[in-house]
Amino acid sequence: MQGKTWSQRLGGLARVLGIGAVLLAIVGTTLARNDLIPKMTGFMGLTFGILAALLALVIGLITLLIAWRRPAPGAARKALTGVIPAAALLGVVLTIVVPASKYPPLHDASTDLTDPPAFQVLEVRKDNLVGVETVENWRAIHAKAFPDLKPITLGKPVAAVIADAERLAKARGWKIAKADPASGRLEATAYAAWIRFNDDVVLRVRPSADGKDSVVDMRSVSRVGVGDLGYNANRVRAFLADLKGA
């Protein structure tokens, strides 16, 4: 094969891979977002899209190098139409993954590590300890990663706090599974990332020791995966902050 033929063919391959990578990522995650395919299937589409983008970037750069040394009609243009979308996809992924890489492999965040709020309507996944293996490990890793997640105390009756929490949950688009002011409990399904992974949330509100205030604990758990890139802890943090201002 002549160098000219190789560069043209490689350029065409880079273009197919680069454009295909973006389409695979967008279509897969969008279908999963709308529950037309399973969430993890959509996530795998994104994963394969990233791999295709990496391959497109490498092949495209090699093609550009060959075309620079031995110009071939259309080779550089084909390579660029693959390199540009591939680089864009990888750039978007890196802006999300790099900041989140500081988080440990946790998918269960709680303000109470000794007695986490329990679900009554929704169910915690059977393999909820995956990634940490034992409750003791979960507590130790969690305490180090999220030392700021603590119960909050509000100067309102329990029923009023649950009413505020239900309103905030609905405003976020969460699906309410239970809202019981009498028992001080709210359970709901929240959503994470573009794919809208299902995460289950429970709020436990109890009167303070003197009966004048309400003590609020919150827990957020992913239904799938090992690590959550900090989504559950951030959800707890943000929701309790809004609940304070309600």
pLDDT tens for 113-123 read: 999 999 999 99
Among the ranges given (16-20, 99-103, 106-110), the one the predictor scored with the smallest mean pLDDT: 99-103
Residue 200 has pLDDT above 60, yes or no: yes
The confidence band for 130, taking pLDDT boundaries of 50, 70 and 90, is very high
Question: Given 54, 69, 100, which residue is the final one in a domain?
Answer: 100
Residue 236 has pLDDT above 70, yes or no: yes
- Together in a domain, 117 and 22: no
Question: Given 45, 79, 100, which residue is the final one in a domain?
Answer: 100
- Range(s) of the domain holding residue 64: 3-100
Q: First CA to last CA across the chain, in angstroms? A: 71
- Together in a domain, 128 and 169: yes
- Together in a domain, 121 and 68: no
Among the ranges given (106-120, 163-177, 184-198), the one the predictor scored with the smallest mean pLDDT: 184-198
What is the tens place of the pLDDT at every residue in 27-66? 998 998 888 888 889 889 999 999 999 999 999 999 998 8
Provide the domain count of the chain.
2
- Together in a domain, 184 and 67: no
- Together in a domain, 115 and 235: yes
- Together in a domain, 13 and 33: yes
Residue 194: the pLDDT is 81
- Together in a domain, 115 and 229: yes
Residue 102 has pLDDT above 90, yes or no: no
Question: Given 59, 80, 100, which residue is the final one in a domain?
Answer: 100
Residue 4 has pLDDT above 70, yes or no: no
- Together in a domain, 235 and 136: yes
- Together in a domain, 128 and 145: yes
Residue 34: the pLDDT is 85
Q: Are 142 and 109 in contact (CB under 8 A)?
A: yes
Backbone angles phi, psi at 5, to 5 degrees: -65, -45
- Together in a domain, 115 and 207: yes
**Averaged confidence pLDDT in the chain:** 92
Task: Encode 111-162 in three state secondary structure.
Answer: CCCCCCCCCCCCCCCCCCCCCCCCHHHHHHHHHHHCCCCCCEEECCCHHHHH
- Together in a domain, 117 and 233: yes
CATH code at position 120: 3.30.310.80
- Together in a domain, 216 and 158: yes
Residue 1: the pLDDT is 41
What separation in angstroms does the CA of 172 have from each of 12, 69, 119, 176, 238?
45, 56, 20, 11, 11
The confidence band for 97, taking pLDDT boundaries of 50, 70 and 90, is confident
Higher pLDDT, 207 or 67: 207
Residue 117: the pLDDT is 97
Residue 98 has pLDDT above 90, yes or no: no
